[in-house]
Every structure is written in structure tokens, then in C-alpha cells.
């Protein structure tokens, strides 16, 4: 019996869902408009299909810049972004259509109900109203808001609004999820609930996740891998850590384990000086 040569035709799963290769991003400087500021430089970062990867780094080091490039919202100055092996710029309008995004700020439309908000994304993607309604209702149910579909965003708590945003993203069934500090505005208990819910939903269908956070505890508790970015300018990954904690995880419980503490100590040893540098830079700019 003939066997395929694995080197000649790698399995589809070997193609990363997302790959940033030699990526840099240079802006016109905010502090001195005549000058340019290279936020990130020479960044190589891949997220496998179904892999949960967090990026941590000091404030202002370029985490959101990386995420925006992965989303296709920002074009790299040099280097390339590939989505399941296809260059991003070659995709319609350069947007990453395989990805759903969840940002720090609420992206809900205040004039639409929770159900209307979840339906809106589906309808925008061409799903008919009846199916959009059914899928939106199903996702609201799954995030625990089945009875709240008729509420407007201002009638929902911060955690409920986050759940609605999560339903909005997951209803589109993206293969990649890009999250930029999605829970940082929540109180600690609600945040832990949301983190556990995201992990539980992710476990039912693991998608590639690129998760940006300031919070090293959150990064370790959630991820398969944590990437540490150095302080800017020209920030780039300076460390990468496989998180070998067992799943399923409860984020509060996992943080009490010796392995979690060992991982935290190892990553913090790399991150600490960068955080201090980032903080110093911020003070200098403010002076
Ligand atoms: N549109 C822009 N124009 C000019 N400079 C920018 C622009 N966007 C980002 N920057 C600069 O690039 C650097 C990286 O910004 P970015 O928001 O990616 O960092 P971050 O790590 O996400 O920050 P934080 O941790 O504070 O959220 C910062 O110094 C920022 O001021």
C-alpha cells in the first residue's frame, strides 16, 4: 500500500490558522508628528488551528497593534500576515474574514436589543432574518442570556454586555478569535465567570485564539502558550512559554496549583524588566 509522504503534503492542521512573519509597524509619531515611531519590528508569531495563545507585554509595547494587523484592520509596514496559509492582503479588502473580534470596549449598538445585536452580525454576513433570529437566540441561550434577548444594552450589566458580545462573535462561527483585553473592565468575580465560560465554549469547538492581556495570571490560566513582548520601540517577542496545565480548567482553581506558580515565576522573570521599562517610558512621555 502506498503511503503519502508527510513531508511533501503536510496535514491541513499543520498550517497555522494565523501567521505573522517578519512583521513591523511604523506610525507617524504621536509625540513628534515629524518623526516616525516603530511600534513592533521583526515579529514572528503563529497560532495553530484550535490553539489558545496569549500575548502579554508592558503597556504601549504594541500588543493591540499586532492584533489589529492580524485582523487586517492595520497593514504591516513590512512582513506578512497569513490566514490558513493565504496572505491576508489577497483576501477581500484585506480584512481577516475567518476571524471574529472582541475588544475592550463594548461594540453593541445601543438602539438594538441583545437579540438584535447578535442578529445584526449574522444578517451582515448574509444570513436570512429567520435563521439569524434562531441562531442568535441559540447563542444567547448558550451564554446564559436566553431570557434577556429583548433587553437593550443600557438595561444589561457589564458582564451581560460582554456575554452578548461573545454571542455576537461566536454566532458567526469564526475559525479564529481575536480578543483585546475583553474582560479588563469587569469586576474580578464577573471576570472569572467570563473567563471560565470562554474556556468552556472554546472546549466545545477549539478555535485559534489570539488573546491580548495585561494580566499575566489571566494569560497563564487561559492559554496553551504565552508569548512575551518586550518594551518598545521596535518591540518583538522575547519569550514564549508552553502552558502545560491540564484542561478543563477552572481559572480560580488553576491559579492555586504549584505548576501555575512555577510558570508565573518563569514568565515574570522575563516580563518584569520590560514592564519597568514600559512604565518608565510612560512617565517620561507624560513629563
Ligand atoms: N495610530 C497610531 N499612531 C501613532 N502611534 C500609534 C498608533 N497606534 C499605536 N501607536 C503607538 O504604538 C505603540 C504601541 O501601541 P499599542 O496600542 O499597540 O500598544 P499596547 O501594548 O496595546 O498598549 P496598552 O498595553 O497600553 O494597551 C504605542 O507607543 C502607541 O502610542
At which of 173, 197, 217 does a domain end? Answer: 173
Ligand 1 atom 16: the closest Cα is on which residue?
62
Question: What CA–CA distance (Å, rounded) separates 86 from 155?
Answer: 42
39 lines ligand 1 (CB under 6 A): yes
Q: How far is the CA of 172 from the centre of ligand 1 (A)?
A: 28
Cell numbers found for residue 147: 431570557
Q: What is the ipTM of this complex?
A: 0.97
37 lines ligand 1 (CB under 6 A): yes
For the stretch 108-112, contacts whose Cβ atoms lie closer than 8 Å and that sit 24 or more positions apart, written own/partner, are 108/153, 108/161, 108/164, 108/165, 108/168, 109/153, 110/152, 110/153, 110/154, 111/152, 112/152
User: 126 and 66 in one domain?
Assistant: no
User: 256 and 187 in one domain?
Assistant: yes
The model carries a pTM of: 0.90
The larger pLDDT score, comparing residue 175 to residue 7, is at 175
At which of 130, 152, 173 does a domain end? Answer: 173
279 lines ligand 1 (CB under 6 A): no
pLDDT band per the 50, 70, 90 thresholds, residue 6:
very low
Mean pLDDT across the chain, nearest whole number? Answer: 89
64 lines ligand 1 (CB under 6 A): yes
Q: How far is the CA of 38 from the centre of ligand 1 (A)?
A: 10
List, for residues 77-117, the tens digit of each pLDDT value. 999 999 999 998 765 567 888 999 988 877 899 999 999 99
pLDDT at 119: 95
pLDDT band per the 50, 70, 90 thresholds, residue 34:
confident
User: Which percentage of the chain shows pLDDT scores above 70?
Assistant: 94
Ligand 1 atom 2: the closest Cα is on which residue?
27
Average of pLDDT values for 270-283? 87
User: What's the number of domains the chain is made of?
Assistant: 2
Amino acid at each position: 500500500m502506498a503511503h503519502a509522504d508527510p513531508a511533501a503534503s503536510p496535514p491541513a492542521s499543520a498550517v497555522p490558522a494565523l501567521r505573522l512573519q517578519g512583521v513591523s509597524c511604523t506610525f507617524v509619531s504621536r509625540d513628534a508628528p515629524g518623526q516616525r515611531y516603530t511600534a513592533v519590528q521583526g515579529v514572528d508569531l503563529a497560532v495553530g488551528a484550535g490553539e489558545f495563545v496569549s500575548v502579554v507585554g508592558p503597556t504601549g509595547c504594541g500588543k493591540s497593534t499586532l492584533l489589529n494587523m492580524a485582523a487586517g484592520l492595520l497593514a504591516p509596514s513590512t512582513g506578512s500576515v497569513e490566514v490558513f496559509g493565504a496572505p491576508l492582503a489577497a483576501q477581500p479588502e484585506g480584512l481577516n474574514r475567518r476571524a471574529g473580534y472582541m475588544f475592550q470596549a463594548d461594540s453593541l449598538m445601543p438602539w438594538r436589543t441583545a437579540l438584535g445585536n447578535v442578529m445584526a452580525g449574522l444578517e451582515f454576513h448574509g444570513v436570512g432574518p429567520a435563521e439569524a433570529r434562531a441562531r442568535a437566540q441559540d447563542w444567547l441561550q448558550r451564554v446564559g442570556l436566553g431570557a434577556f434577548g429583548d433587553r437593550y444594552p443600557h438595561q444589561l450589566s457589564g458582564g451581560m454586555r460582554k456575554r452578548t458580545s461573545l454571542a455576537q462573535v461566536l454566532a458567526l462561527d469564526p475559525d479564529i478569535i481575536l480578543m483585546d483585553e475583553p474582560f479588563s473592565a469587569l469586576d474580578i468575580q464577573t471576570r472569572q465567570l467570563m473567563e471560565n465560560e470562554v474556556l468552556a465554549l472554546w472546549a466545545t469547538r477549539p478555535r485559534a485564539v489570539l488573546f491580548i492581556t495585561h494580566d499575566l495570571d489571566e494569560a497563564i490560566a487561559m492559554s496553551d502558550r504565552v508569548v512575551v513582548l518586550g518594551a518598545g520601540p521596535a518591540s518583538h517577542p522575547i519569550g514564549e512559554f508552553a502552558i502545560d496545565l491540564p484542561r478543563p480548567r477552572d481559572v480560580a482553581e488553576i491559579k492555586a496549583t504549584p505548576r501555575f506558580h512555577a510558570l508565573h515565576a518563569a514568565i515574570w522573570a522575563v516580563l518584569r524588566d520590560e514592564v519597568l521599562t514600559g512604565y518608565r517610558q510612560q512617565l517620561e512621555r507624560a513629563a
